[in-house]
A and B are shown apart, each in its own frame.
Chain A
Amino acid sequence: MSYQIIVCGSLVPDPLQTLEPVTGPQGPALKNEMMLPSWLDPWAGHALYEAARLAGQHAGSKVWLVSLGPKAKLQQVMMTVAQKVPFELVALDGSAGGFTDASETAAALAEAILAIPGLDLTKLLLFGGWESASRGAGATLQIVGERLGITDQFQGVDSLTLEADGSLRILERVEGGKHQVSVCSAPPAVLGWATGSLPEPRNNPQVGMANMRGIMPALQKAKPSPVSTGDITFTSVTLPTQTRTTQVIKDASPEQIAADIVAWIKGG
């Protein structure tokens, strides 16, 4: 059986950058947001790599990456992502900021997915990260799924096995360091990925060149998709200010330190 695997994922600021909130005309934003180096969202990246692995195992399958972000930033990020795995980009030109409303983002993504030529719900696996490193809500994918009429949804996915009978065996993270095991009879399904089990693929220039032939036209025809903070009224957006006064103990012996730690653990 072949699958249509659509991965929703966008860009986030490089996690090593210092972020500072500012108030702009559209509400809160990041200071120098357009200047910050960006990455593909980490969990969306895991979803993309898992999608490529599955597509590689099932002949005739195809992967799309549907991404909403500022066109110029998308182009910058795709220069790297395109070298990882084969996919076709569907680009939407709009804000990828964390303060935008998930429901507006979901509406734009769902519209773009429904416009993909030849979309077949009976083959559809809708992938994405279970949260983003920007909004971090874990909400967008579920709403996209609802808009597409998909009610078999899974979040915090670490494993998907496509069984010989066409069913999907899925492991989702639940409380207490456990995985819930579910079996879904067939696509369509929504899977919000946690980390999965694959390392980041090495850059492959040949894959990159093949991908870029489609990525540049996709970026050129990226549909403007203005998303906003919606009905949210922000009262404040602040950085955590609490800084602890760290007591540095340099010259104690391991025995002394161990005794101190044990007393602390035991409530002393």
Chain B
Amino acid sequence: MSILFLAHTEPDGTLAKSALESLAATVQLAQSLGTPFTVGLIGETPGPAADAIATCGAQKFLTVSGPEFSQARYATDAAAAEALCRAAAATLVTAPATSRWNRVLPGLAHRLGGRADTHVTGVGVSNGQPCVSRWFYRQRMEAVFTRSTRPWILALEGGIAAPWQGAAGTAHPDAVAVTLAAPRTQVTGFEAPAADQQTIRPDAELLFVTGAGWTKKQADGEVKVAEAETLIREFLRLSRSSLGSTKSLVDLGGEGQSVLPFLSHLNQIGQTGSTPRHAKGLSTCCHGEEPHTVGWRFIGERRAISLDANCGWARGKADILYVADAFAVMAKVNALLAP
């Protein structure tokens, strides 16, 4: 068995935290299997990134470099990854489940005559063979399995291991040449809210979840969307938390109802949204049953504020449920957090 760890550099030439987490998991897997591993890096100038992980224990470093590999683009990334896999003659390939790799790895597996599994949340060894765990039906059941086809390509989810840490060194990577047709696709940039308007913060300690209750009639019979917006924005500013939303709240916009204007489908968590990973989560005004609460699946400590003591987001899911008016509580929270 031979293992190849694939990673791409970030725009600043470094490796992302998710790449270092996947590297740590790969190092552990290689040790468990008693097999060496190779590191394959893609980027405009991946040499410094290779040096940064030179002491990770890899038998060999391979790189594909050039300005055309600075862009996250299927055609060039697939060609580069294919060249690295063939050069390493890998039977097992690991990579962080970034948007860039998730776009490419299944197609790469097809080119190599192998198979790919994505969203892998655990890797181990059983009877001398690698096995993985991942969730099915939108995080509603977890399976452990192995495959016989090689190469087997695994996209490892963030948080699968603590990020690899070690001394930098000199990696002496071997350059792998890739022949490319002229790309038909160009990445022209990124669109994102202004930095102070960005509400999705993957590295935040806390996930703040808002539900449709924020836009419903309150105890005095009035809808208070403007007040809700102010409270939520202020809390996000003061706490630097990441904002998640239930599907029902996001969908209200499409139905022409009063909505919180800074919410988009990108904020949506749960069955048809994301399942972010944060140390803590605070849900407010959320409702719904088990299928919708899968957005909680990878949150560590969970608390909820709801007027419904039997809310599906809380009972058996949260550590603490405050049965209270979220408008009143969050106003007080903001006052306490204010400098």
Contact = CB atoms under 8 A, between A and B. Distances in A.
Interface of A: 12-13, 15-16, 18-19, 21, 28, 30, 42-43, 98-99, 101-103, 106, 133-140, 142-143, 145-147, 151-156, 158, 171-186, 194-195, 198-200, 230-240, 243-250, 252, 254-255, 257-262, 264-265
B233 interface: no
B77 to A, nearest CB: 10
A210 B277 CA distance: 46
Give the 10 A-B CB pairs with smallest separation, nearest first. Answer: A177-B200, A258-B332, A199-B254, A139-B106, A195-B265, A254-B328, A142-B107, A153-B74, A178-B192, A142-B106
A234 B315 contact: no
Given A139-B116, A146-B111, A237-B143, 12 more contacts: A18-B290, A19-B140, A139-B105, A145-B107, A176-B202, A180-B190, A182-B186, A240-B142, A247-B321, A257-B329, A260-B322, A265-B206
Contact of B289 (A16, A137, A145, A184): A16
A133 B138 contact: yes
A37 to B, nearest CB: 13
A154 B74 contact: yes
Among B143, B144, B147, B199, chain A packs the most CB atoms within 10 A around the CB of B143
A239 B100 CA distance: 30
A180 B72 contact: yes
A179 B193 CA distance: 10
B322 A252 contact: yes
B333 A261 contact: yes
B272 A182 contact: no
A154 to B, nearest CB: 7
Interface stretch (B44-52, B218-226, B297-305): B297-305
Contacts of A255: 332
Contacts of A140: 106
Interface in B262-312: 265-268, 271-272, 280, 282, 289-292, 297, 301-303, 305, 309
Nearest to B336: A262
Given A103-B115, A194-B265, A175 B148 contact: no
Contact of A142 (B103, B185, B191, B205): B103
Among A101, A200, A258, A260, chain B packs the most CB atoms within 10 A around the CB of A258
Contacts of A12: 137
Label chain B's interface by main secondary structure.
mixed
B213 to A, nearest CB: 16
A182 B107 contact: no
B131 A136 contact: no
B143 A99 contact: yes
A249 B316 contact: no
Nearest to B146: A233
A183 B184 CA distance: 8
Interface string B45-81: 0000000000000000000000000001111001000
A237 B142 CA distance: 6
A237 B111 contact: no
A230 B148 CA distance: 9
A133 B316 contact: no
Contacts of B234: none
5 contacts: A12-B137, A143-B106, A182-B187, A238-B141, A265-B206
A233 B147 contact: yes
B117 A133 contact: no
B315 A13 contact: no
Nearest to B279: A267
A49 to B, nearest CB: 11
B333 A133 contact: no
A138 B118 contact: yes
Given A138-B118, A264-B303, A133 B271 contact: yes
A140 B267 CA distance: 25
A161 to B, nearest CB: 12
B140 A178 contact: no
